[in-house]
Amino acid sequence: ASHRLVDRVVALSAVDSANFATIYSSSRPGGIQPFVVREYVNGVTLLAILGHLKQVGSPFSVAAAASVADGLHAIHAAGCVPGTLKLTNVFVQQAGGIQLVDPAVTPVIADNKILQAPEIDLDAEATVPSDIYALGMLLKVLAAADDADPLGQLIAECTHRDPGARPKSAEA
Protein backbone atom coordinates (compact mmCIF):
# COMPACT_ATOMS: atom_id res chain seq x y z
CA ALA A 1 0.00 0.00 0.00
CA SER A 2 2.82 2.45 0.76
CA HIS A 3 4.37 1.86 -2.70
CA ARG A 4 1.01 2.69 -4.31
CA LEU A 5 0.79 5.92 -2.30
CA VAL A 6 4.35 6.86 -3.26
CA ASP A 7 3.53 6.20 -6.93
CA ARG A 8 0.49 8.48 -6.67
CA VAL A 9 2.49 11.23 -4.96
CA VAL A 10 5.24 10.97 -7.60
CA ALA A 11 2.60 11.28 -10.36
CA LEU A 12 1.02 14.26 -8.58
CA SER A 13 4.37 16.01 -8.17
CA ALA A 14 4.42 16.32 -11.98
CA VAL A 15 1.10 18.23 -12.05
CA ASP A 16 1.55 21.80 -13.24
CA SER A 17 -1.72 23.64 -12.75
CA ALA A 18 -2.81 26.85 -11.08
CA ASN A 19 -5.71 24.79 -9.71
CA PHE A 20 -3.59 22.22 -7.88
CA ALA A 21 -1.38 22.79 -4.83
CA THR A 22 2.13 21.83 -5.95
CA ILE A 23 3.77 18.85 -4.24
CA TYR A 24 7.43 19.55 -3.49
CA SER A 25 8.60 16.43 -1.68
CA SER A 26 7.45 13.23 -0.02
CA SER A 27 8.66 10.27 1.98
CA ARG A 28 9.94 7.13 0.30
CA PRO A 29 8.70 3.56 0.83
CA GLY A 30 9.95 2.03 4.03
CA GLY A 31 10.42 5.42 5.70
CA ILE A 32 9.64 5.76 9.38
CA GLN A 33 6.92 8.39 8.99
CA PRO A 34 5.07 9.09 5.71
CA PHE A 35 4.89 12.76 4.72
CA VAL A 36 4.04 15.05 1.82
CA VAL A 37 5.36 18.61 1.50
CA ARG A 38 3.08 20.75 -0.64
CA GLU A 39 2.42 24.36 -1.48
CA TYR A 40 0.67 26.33 1.26
CA VAL A 41 -2.85 27.39 0.28
CA ASN A 42 -4.02 30.53 2.04
CA GLY A 43 -7.75 29.94 2.17
CA VAL A 44 -10.58 27.79 3.44
CA THR A 45 -12.18 24.57 2.29
CA LEU A 46 -15.25 24.60 0.11
CA LEU A 47 -17.05 22.76 2.89
CA ALA A 48 -16.34 25.67 5.25
CA ILE A 49 -18.03 28.24 2.98
CA LEU A 50 -20.95 26.26 1.55
CA GLY A 51 -23.43 28.10 3.75
CA HIS A 52 -22.28 31.45 2.34
CA LEU A 53 -22.61 30.65 -1.37
CA LYS A 54 -26.03 32.30 -1.69
CA GLN A 55 -24.29 35.59 -0.94
CA VAL A 56 -21.82 35.25 -3.83
CA GLY A 57 -24.15 33.52 -6.30
CA SER A 58 -23.86 31.51 -9.47
CA PRO A 59 -20.80 33.21 -11.03
CA PHE A 60 -18.69 31.89 -8.15
CA SER A 61 -20.16 28.38 -8.45
CA VAL A 62 -19.53 28.26 -12.20
CA ALA A 63 -15.95 29.56 -11.79
CA ALA A 64 -15.28 27.13 -8.94
CA ALA A 65 -16.60 24.22 -10.99
CA ALA A 66 -14.38 25.18 -13.95
CA SER A 67 -11.34 25.48 -11.68
CA VAL A 68 -11.94 22.08 -10.12
CA ALA A 69 -12.44 20.55 -13.59
CA ASP A 70 -9.16 22.13 -14.78
CA GLY A 71 -7.33 20.81 -11.71
CA LEU A 72 -8.76 17.31 -12.17
CA HIS A 73 -7.87 17.36 -15.87
CA ALA A 74 -4.25 18.25 -15.01
CA ILE A 75 -4.14 15.45 -12.43
CA HIS A 76 -5.50 12.95 -14.95
CA ALA A 77 -3.01 14.17 -17.57
CA ALA A 78 -0.22 13.36 -15.08
CA GLY A 79 -1.45 9.77 -15.00
CA CYS A 80 -3.17 9.88 -11.63
CA VAL A 81 -6.81 9.10 -10.87
CA PRO A 82 -7.53 10.31 -7.32
CA GLY A 83 -10.98 8.86 -6.71
CA THR A 84 -11.13 10.94 -3.50
CA LEU A 85 -12.42 14.37 -4.54
CA LYS A 86 -14.22 15.89 -1.58
CA LEU A 87 -15.36 19.20 -0.18
CA THR A 88 -12.40 19.40 2.19
CA ASN A 89 -9.72 19.21 -0.50
CA VAL A 90 -11.17 21.97 -2.65
CA PHE A 91 -9.77 25.22 -1.25
CA VAL A 92 -11.05 28.73 -1.90
CA GLN A 93 -8.01 30.96 -1.75
CA GLN A 94 -8.15 34.25 0.07
CA ALA A 95 -7.16 35.87 -3.26
CA GLY A 96 -10.22 34.27 -4.87
CA GLY A 97 -8.85 31.29 -6.80
CA ILE A 98 -9.65 27.62 -6.33
CA GLN A 99 -7.05 24.92 -5.68
CA LEU A 100 -7.28 21.18 -5.23
CA VAL A 101 -5.18 19.92 -2.36
CA ASP A 102 -3.90 16.33 -2.12
CA PRO A 103 -6.94 14.58 -3.63
CA ALA A 104 -5.04 11.38 -4.35
CA VAL A 105 -3.27 11.18 -1.01
CA THR A 106 -6.21 11.87 1.27
CA PRO A 107 -8.06 8.75 2.37
CA VAL A 108 -11.75 8.26 1.68
CA ILE A 109 -13.67 9.47 4.72
CA ALA A 110 -17.25 10.45 5.45
CA ASP A 111 -17.18 13.98 3.99
CA ASN A 112 -16.61 12.75 0.44
CA LYS A 113 -19.16 9.96 0.42
CA ILE A 114 -21.67 12.46 -1.01
CA LEU A 115 -19.38 12.96 -4.02
CA GLN A 116 -18.21 9.37 -4.42
CA ALA A 117 -19.21 7.39 -7.52
CA PRO A 118 -21.52 4.43 -6.87
CA GLU A 119 -19.01 1.95 -8.32
CA ILE A 120 -16.42 2.99 -5.71
CA ASP A 121 -18.86 1.78 -3.03
CA LEU A 122 -18.55 -1.63 -4.67
CA ASP A 123 -14.77 -1.61 -4.08
CA ALA A 124 -14.02 -0.81 -7.72
CA GLU A 125 -10.77 0.97 -8.54
CA ALA A 126 -11.06 4.70 -9.12
CA THR A 127 -11.26 5.66 -12.79
CA VAL A 128 -11.56 8.90 -14.72
CA PRO A 129 -15.35 8.33 -14.95
CA SER A 130 -15.54 7.94 -11.16
CA ASP A 131 -13.73 11.29 -10.79
CA ILE A 132 -16.13 12.81 -13.35
CA TYR A 133 -19.02 11.56 -11.22
CA ALA A 134 -17.48 13.21 -8.13
CA LEU A 135 -17.08 16.43 -10.13
CA GLY A 136 -20.75 16.25 -11.13
CA MET A 137 -21.80 15.75 -7.53
CA LEU A 138 -19.63 18.71 -6.51
CA LEU A 139 -21.43 20.78 -9.16
CA LYS A 140 -24.74 19.61 -7.73
CA VAL A 141 -23.69 20.68 -4.22
CA LEU A 142 -22.59 24.10 -5.57
CA ALA A 143 -25.82 24.58 -7.55
CA ALA A 144 -27.96 23.65 -4.53
CA ALA A 145 -25.96 25.91 -2.22
CA ASP A 146 -26.51 29.02 -4.32
CA ASP A 147 -30.14 28.28 -5.35
CA ALA A 148 -29.29 28.44 -9.03
CA ASP A 149 -28.78 25.70 -11.56
CA PRO A 150 -26.81 26.96 -14.56
CA LEU A 151 -25.04 23.61 -14.61
CA GLY A 152 -28.04 21.26 -14.86
CA GLN A 153 -27.17 19.42 -18.09
CA LEU A 154 -23.51 19.02 -17.12
CA ILE A 155 -24.51 17.70 -13.70
CA ALA A 156 -26.81 15.12 -15.32
CA GLU A 157 -24.05 13.97 -17.69
CA CYS A 158 -21.37 13.75 -14.99
CA THR A 159 -23.53 11.89 -12.50
CA HIS A 160 -24.91 9.26 -14.88
CA ARG A 161 -25.02 5.90 -13.06
CA ASP A 162 -23.23 4.23 -15.99
CA PRO A 163 -19.52 5.18 -15.93
CA GLY A 164 -19.33 4.69 -19.71
CA ALA A 165 -22.01 7.33 -20.28
CA ARG A 166 -20.13 10.07 -18.37
CA PRO A 167 -17.86 12.62 -20.09
CA LYS A 168 -14.49 11.06 -20.91
CA SER A 169 -12.44 13.95 -19.51
CA ALA A 170 -12.61 16.63 -16.81
CA GLU A 171 -11.37 19.18 -19.34
CA ALA A 172 -13.50 22.29 -18.91
What is the band of 149 on the pLDDT scale with cuts at 50, 70, 90? low
Position 111 scores a pLDDT of 54
Task: Concatenate the DSSP letters of all residues of the chain into one string.
Answer: -HHHHHHHHHHHHT---TTBPPEEEE--TT-SS--EEE----EEEHHHHGGGHHHH-HHHHHHHHHHHHHHHHHHHHTT-------TTSEEEETTS-EEE--TTTSPP-GGGTTTS-HHHHTTPPP-HHHHHHHHHHHHHHHHHHTT--TTHHHHHHHT-SSGGGS-S----
Give 26 or 114, the one with higher predicted confidence: 26
Amino acid at position 110, single letter:
A
Give tens-digit pLDDT for 56-71.
Answer: 667 888 888 899 999 9
- Lowest mean pLDDT of 49-58, 75-84, 86-95, name the range: 49-58
What is the average per-residue pLDDT within 22-48?
A: 84
What is the average per-residue pLDDT within 135-148?
A: 81
Give tens-digit pLDDT for 84-108.
Answer: 788 888 999 998 899 998 765 555 4
Which residues have C-beta within 8 Å of that of residue 108, sequence separation ≥ 6?
83, 84, 116, 120
Give tens-digit pLDDT for 107-117.
Answer: 544 555 678 88
Give helix 58-77 / helix 128-145 axis angle, nearest 10°.
170
